[in-house]
Amino acid sequence: MRFFRLIPDWLVYAILLLIILVNVMGRADQRSAPTPPPKLGPALPNVHPADPNVIVEIPSPRSGTGTAFSIGGGRWLTARHVVDRCDEVGLHMGGSQYVKVDKIDVSTNSDTALLRSQWTRPSLARDLNAQRQIGESGFFIGFPQGKPGEVAGSLLGRHKMVVRGRYRTSEPILAWAEISRTRGLKGSLGGLSGGPAFDIDGEVIGIVAAESPRRGRVYTVAPASLLPIFNQPSTPAKAEPISITNYGRRADRLRRNRRIAQVVCLVR
């Protein structure tokens, strides 16, 4: 008892206050701990006749812009409906410079088109064979409304796109629920068509084909539809992971080094 009487009162209060602060801060740390990411859903099912239809009307040919990305060797990939029946097609190199596309190979089975030009840029990495999962994140980069922009989405499932109008096709596609945009992008995503769809590993898994603004949906060409295009050997490309926190910066870098470029269609 004599020992405790020798301890100054202020020191006793200081020790008690320190204990209280440590306890409170410990609880606060528990409350502010990050919530574990949600678990992914099941594997994406195979194509089925009962897959929901997405009807897309393709108007008569007219001048406009879209997005393309490099797959190496002067080859660029975009959406068919962006360049189909254009009198001239060019790739924007930056500023007021454009390079003319020498040859266009449009697919009759999917919303894809292969462009060939003298402008060579490094290829983007791709992963067209991995099993996709419901709920996984996807990132869509390009030039919506003719300006740099990007969108993030969550995989909902497989649909079937039925194209009418200028031409008619039917193909499996992936449907994504839009979860985020950058740069204050509002309204239509027109101009993003043809842009690459990335997974979280930073690898291309599709091409933006259509949108449903009312439902907040983005539709991309299924990975299997791209396999016939990549039938030529190419130098392996390095991929960099993409997340919801950095996809804007990654998009800026890919556009600055011109691996993703704006494509222009001219109709006389």
Q: pLDDT (tens digit, 9 = 90+) per residue, 172-195?
A: 999 999 999 987 888 999 999 999
Q: Looking at the structure, do residues 10 and 105 belong to the same domain, yes or no? A: no
For residue 113, pLDDT over 60 is answered with yes
Claim: this prediction has a pTM higher than 0.75:
yes
Region 143-151 average pLDDT = 96
Q: Looking at the structure, do residues 68 and 28 belong to the same domain, yes or no? A: no
Q: How many helices (H) and strands (E) does the chain have?
A: 5, 14
| Domain assignment of residue 184, yes or no | yes
Q: Looking at the structure, do residues 15 and 59 belong to the same domain, yes or no? A: no
**Alpha carbons 225 and 200: distance in angstroms, whole number:** 20
Tens-digit pLDDT profile for residues 17-67: 555 544 544 433 333 333 344 567 899 999 999 999 999 999 998 999 999
The boundaries of the domain holding residue 19 are: 2-32
Q: What angle do CA 83, 89, 92 make, to 5 degrees?
A: 110
Determine the pLDDT at residue 218. Answer: 98
**Alpha carbons 95 and 92: distance in angstroms, whole number:** 8
Determine the pLDDT at residue 22. Answer: 46
Determine the pLDDT at residue 229. Answer: 87
Strand-strand pairing, 196-198 and 204-212? antiparallel
Q: pLDDT class for 16, splitting at 50, 70, 90?
A: low
Q: Name residue, tokens 């509002």.
A: 186
**Alpha carbons 44 and 131: distance in angstroms, whole number:** 7
Q: pLDDT class for 235, splitting at 50, 70, 90?
A: low
For residue 2, pLDDT over 50 is answered with no
* Residue 139: how many other CB atoms lie within 10 Å: 26
**217 vs 236, higher pLDDT:** 217
Q: Looking at the structure, do residues 8 and 99 belong to the same domain, yes or no? A: no
